[in-house]
Amino acid sequence: MTTHEVIELRNFKTYTHQRMDQLDVPHEVLDSPHTAAGCRIGGRFDYLAEQIAQLKRNVAGKDVLISLLSERLADFVSYKKPDNSKRAKA
């Protein structure tokens, strides 16, 4: 590996960690297999991946809830009150 390549890799590593810091990703993700293997940035990516997966699960759950509520609302809006006027006259 040339000196230039080493410098480029260090610059990329610095940039990546700075972006992770801006996103409030923890410096040490202790439960990550990448962190355990000595790859701190891999652990930080693991953290981001878990956060994204959690957001997807939350959104999916809300989509189901919104769908159910929409169906109930449609049933409510389309409900027609029974005409009891004929019964009252009898």
Residues 1-37: tens digit of each pLDDT: 999 999 999 999 999 999 999 999 999 999 999 999 9
> For residue 58, is pLDDT > 90?
no
The pLDDT assigned to 7 comes to 96
Residue 40: the pLDDT is: 92
pLDDT at 90: 53
One DSSP character per residue, the chain reads: --HHHHHHHHHHHHHHHHHHHHTT--S--TT-HHHHTT-HHHHHHHHHHHHHHHHHHHHHHHHHHHHHHHHHHHHHHH------HHHHH-
Banded pLDDT at 86 (limits 50, 70, 90)? low
Distance CA 15, CA 17 (A): 6
Is 80 exceeded by the pLDDT of residue 54? yes
